[in-house]
Amino acid sequence: MTELTTAEDAIKAAISSNDVVLFMKGTKAMPQCGFSSRVAGVLNYMGVEYLDVNVLADETVRQGIKDFSDWPTIPQLYVKGEFVGGCDIITDMTLSGELDTLFDENAVGYDKEAADKIREANA
């Protein structure tokens, strides 16, 4: 088994066994870059339960997730096994209400009031 297959298998296992997964630099408690911090901050504030995968802990996963999604940057958010996007896309979806809709459609729990507060603060 090659390292790439191992990373791909780990990625597939993470996104298939968790409703929401954030591949990020650092952890949800201690993000290691501003973009990861922004997305984790949104999810944390909205009370979303999610798996955080620290790509800095494993170079094969760090490159593997970019290859897997065909997306060049980190963080990357997955909901119900589907790639949603990176920081800019998640920010835009949060402010437009699309992220709420995505969570509603996929039965992902979140604090609607918190989501509204984010939009109010950025209006």
Which secondary-structure segment (H or E) carries 116? helix 112-121
Cα-Cα-Cα-Cα dihedral sign, residues 101, 105, 106, 107: positive
Taking only the tens place, the pLDDT of each residue in 36-47 is 999 999 999 999
Model confidence at 1, pLDDT cuts 50, 70, 90, reads very low
Digit-coded pLDDT (tens) for 3-24? 556 899 999 999 999 999 999 9
> What DSSP state is assigned to residue 20?
E
Structural domain range at position 108: 3-118
User: How many residues are recorded in the chain?
Assistant: 123
What's the CA gap between 42 and 30, in Å, rounded?
14
For residue 77, what are its two tokens?
């958010």
Is residue 22 one of the residues assigned to a domain? yes
**Considering the domain boundaries, does residue 98 fall inside one?**
yes
pLDDT mean over 53-61:
95
Lowest mean per-residue pLDDT among 1-15, 71-85, 106-120: 1-15
Total domain count, the chain: 1
- In this structure, which amino acid lies at residue 53? V
pLDDT of residue 5: 64
Residue 123 lies in a domain: no
- Report how far residue 90's alpha carbon sits from residue 93's, in angstroms, rounded to the nearest whole number: 5
To the question of pTM greater than 0.85 for the whole model, the response is: yes
What is the Cα gyration radius of the chain?
A: 14
Residue 52's CATH number: 3.40.30.10
